[in-house]
Amino acid sequence: MSPLNTTQSLIDQLMPFVQSKEADFVTLYAQTVQRRNWRFANQQIPQAQFQNAIDVTFKVIRKNSIGIASIGSSEPELLEEAFKKALLLAQQNLPLEKTPTGFPEKQQLRQQKESIAPCEDIDRTATQIQRLFHICQGADVDLAGSYSAGSIETLVMNSQETLCDHTQPFATTTLITNYGPCSGFAAETTALAQTLDLQEPLKRAMGLALCETSPQQIPLGDYEVILEPEAVADLIFWLSYTGFGAKAFEEGSSFLSGKIGEHILHPSLTLYDDGNESGMLKLPFDYEGNPRQRVTFVNQGKANAVVYDRVYAQRYEHTHTGHTVPFTSQEGPYPMHVGIQPGESTVEDMLSQCKRGLYIPRLHYVNGLLNPTEALMSGLTREGCYLIENGELTQPVSAMRFTQSIVEAFKHIKGLTAARRLVSSAHTGAHATLVPAMHLEHFQFTDYAH
């Protein structure tokens, strides 16, 4: 069955629910994930499986009360059961003071599916992975990792004739290499499954692992750092979660609260959200079917705006930006397609300009809840962290803990690369970041990993 026919079949199956007379209003979204997952290590591929999963969530309004229920199936009787559960919850919940309004009417955002690639061919991918094993074996390097390729389809419908659907192909890989006591890391994600070349990230990971010196402890303190896009993305995820949504902003816990129009970060930094950007894992509408608007959070260092959904736009008399999250979330509006405008540098240029610092491919166990008003975060370095001395990577460094205000760190940006990398994973759905590598003048390390 073709993707378009599959979509139409699901639409036909769900249409009676949004047309139901048992509720005053019904909105729903269905997300279907089809992908192949590979995990590999020790010259073997122990896991190569196909996943075909669907999640359908109903929101019903009846006499000013809301009921929400989800089901991980498209079986008719289970869908009916979930819908009736949502109706029952609406009957049991206390009514809202005001009638919920502002849902999109007759919104039609439908994507042509002819260009959507099927899940990656299993034999082709197995051959690629075996080629990686051969390369690593020749260099006496151990390789472990994962690869996932497929598509995510999102469908939104409501009682007011809104019908939106979009299918996003993707492929993503994570590679970890080990050579004696040293290790390396690389990752790659693309919005076109057929274009992902596994040998390019393998080259990066092997380059970090092939070292004869064991990782060394270095003194704690303040260092210049060069962060690869995967490390930058960890920080941006937490900034998005704690700072770029209307809930945190209006409640005063965002680092942007009360600072709109002020220069708060380095003028080279522009941060935005755009669900329609080329190269991004796109989703051009939110989970109620509203078109996603491009929102610039920080424009050349100046605090500019945050994202709003229907509820917070009405509450604070603000423009709806199309950022409603899944109905089961209580976190308020949230950006899912965050980007940083590229700079003009390269990682090689950054290294040449660093007298003493740390090169960090990725971070680990980052906690962005320490003090969101100043974006205070803590986390660990991981594989492939190197000491930089006079523009050269001189020795691998043991894992260290950082504790740093990201607002302060982003005031002292020394460079951004012209090249950006899409950072996501097989577990985050359509949520991704498109970011450059970043050179920061100050980053505080406060402890060693134990």
Q: Give the tens place of pLDDT for each residue, 414-448.
A: 999 999 999 986 455 568 999 999 999 999 999 99
| Phi–psi pair at 230, nearest 5 degrees | -65, -35
Helix pair 3-18, 76-92: axis angle to 10 deg: 40
Confidence of residue 4 (pLDDT cuts 50, 70, 90): very low
pLDDT tens digit sequence for 77-97: 999 999 999 999 999 999 988
CA distances from 269 to 226, 294, 344, 420, 436 (A): 15, 16, 12, 14, 11
Handedness of CA 312, 367, 219, 399 (dihedral sign): negative
| Whole-number pLDDT of residue 206 | 97
For the cut 50, the answer to whether the pLDDT of residue 321 exceeds it is yes
Asked if the model's pLDDT at residue 342 lies above 90, the reply is: yes
pLDDT digits (tens, 9 = 90+) for 132-181: 999 999 999 999 999 998 889 999 999 999 999 999 988 899 999 999 99
Length of the chain: 450
Return all residues near 7 (Cβ < 8 A) that are at least 6 apart: 113, 153, 155, 165, 167
**Using an 8 Å Cβ cutoff, are 409 and 440 in contact?**
yes
Q: How far apart are CA 192 and CA 422, in angstroms?
A: 12
Cβ neighbours, 10 Å, residue 142: 17
Mean pLDDT on 398-414: 98
Mean pLDDT across the chain: 93
Give the residue-averaged pLDDT of 362-374.
Answer: 97
- Residue 72 pLDDT > 70, yes or no? yes
pLDDT at 76 over 50: yes
| Contact assessment for residue 152 and residue 166, using Cβ atoms and an 8 Å cutoff | no
| Cβ pair 24, 100 in contact under 8 A | no
Burial class (CB in 10 A: 0-12, 13-18, 19+), 47: exposed
* Domains of the chain, residue spans: 3-209, 221-448
pTM: 0.94
HEC letters along the chain: CCHHHHHHHHHHHHHHHHCCCCCCEEEEEEEEEEEEEEEEECCEEEEEEEEEEEEEEEEEEECCEEEEEEECCCCHHHHHHHHHHHHHHHHHCCCCCCCCCCCCCCCEEECCCCCCCCCCCHHHHHHHHHHHHHHHHHCCCEEEEEEEEEEEEEEEEECCCCEEEEEEEEEEEEEEEEECCEEEEEEEEECCHHHCCCHHHHHHHHHHHCCCCCCECCCCEEEEEEECHHHHHHHHHHHHHHHCEHHHHHHCCCCCCCCCCCECCCCCCCEEECCCCCCCCCCCECCCCCECCCEEEEECCEECCCECCHHHHHHCCCCCCCCCCCCCCCCCCCCCEEEECCCCECHHHHHHCCCEEEEECCEEEEEEEEEHHHCEEEEEECCCCEEEECCEEEEEECCEEEEEEHHHHCCCEEEEEEEEEEECCCCCCCCEEEEEEEEEEEEEEEEECC
The pLDDT confidence band at residue 120, using thresholds 50, 70 and 90, is low
Q: How far is CA 242 from CA 252, 278, 283, 371, 373, in A?
A: 11, 26, 22, 9, 8
Query: Looking at residue 60, what is its pLDDT?
Result: 97
| Cβ neighbourhood burial of 368 (10 Å; 0-12, 13-18, 19+) | buried
Could you give the CA distance from residue 170 to residue 35 in angstroms, rounded to a whole number?
A: 9
* Residue 282 to residue 262: CA distance in whole angstroms: 30
For 3-209, the fitting CATH number among 3.30.2290.10, 3.40.47.10, 3.30.930.10, 3.90.78.10 is 3.30.2290.10
Q: How confident is the model at residue 110 (pLDDT cuts 50, 70, 90)?
A: confident
- Provide the β-strand partners of residue 142: 178
Taking the C-alpha atoms of residue 224 and residue 236, their distance in angstroms, rounded to an integer, is 19
Q: Cα–Cα distance between 154 and 164 in angstroms, integer?
A: 8
